[in-house]
Amino acid sequence: MKGRGGKWTVITEADSFLLSEAIADGGVECENSCLLRIFLHRGGLLADGGTMSERQIYKALHAACQKRGQQAVPWKNDSKRGTMDDAKAKQEADEKAAANRKWQQFASRVPKAEYQMPCYYGAFHQKL
């Protein structure tokens, strides 16, 4: 997209493969980013024994970069910028507890450490 004179125009259409997480009608190519990251982790071999296409490898690497998480920002709880109020602190504690419960559920069902990775965790919660 490009802006000119206050209007945005589409220069090139987005690749539907990179936007989609499901198999297109009649398609056989895996498009789910969690599964693609798992296949890449396994050496690029797909479930049917084939190898990943260049597009699938690109999407898997792109998804891995997107899911890497964020570094802690220095101003998060800085007293100069204001501290969290009680409601926000409680919400953050609740979210952290829920995430820990989800991870414990995953770890109890997937005991091997080699499979306790973000791509497997995402696939587990998507019920793949």
pLDDT digits (tens, 9 = 90+) for 35-81: 888 888 888 888 778 888 888 888 888 888 877 665 665 556 555 55
In a domain, 78, yes or no: no
In a domain, 58, yes or no: yes
Instruction: Tell me 11's DSSP state.
Output: S
Q: How many domains does the chain have?
A: 2
Domain boundary among 68, 102, 117: 68
Backbone Cα Rg of the chain: 20
Q: What percent of the chain has pLDDT over 90?
A: 5
In a domain, 19, yes or no: yes
Structure tokens at 34: 């969690």
pTM: 0.60
In a domain, 114, yes or no: yes
Structure tokens at 72: 């802690």
Q: Same domain, yes or no, for 61 and 10?
A: yes
Identify the H or E element spanning 119. helix 118-125
- The residue whose two tokens read 């990943």 is 52
pLDDT at 101: 92
Of 126, 108, 123, 111, nearest to 39 by C-alpha is 123
In a domain, 20, yes or no: yes
| Coil, strand or helix at 27 | coil
Q: Same domain, yes or no, for 58 and 91?
A: no
Instruction: Reply yes or no on whether the pLDDT at 84 is more than 70.
Output: no
Q: Same domain, yes or no, for 64 and 22?
A: yes
The strand pairing partners of 7, in sequence order, are 4
In a domain, 75, yes or no: no
Lowest mean pLDDT among 45-54, 76-85, 94-103, 104-113: 76-85
Q: What residue numbers bound the domain in which 127 lies?
A: 85-128
Domain boundary among 41, 68, 95: 68
Instruction: Tell me 45's DSSP state.
Output: B
In a domain, 74, yes or no: no
Counting every residue written for the chain, the total comes to: 128
CA atoms within a 13 Å half-sphere pointing along the CA-CB vector of 118: 10
pLDDT at 28: 67
Distance CA 24, CA 69 (A): 29
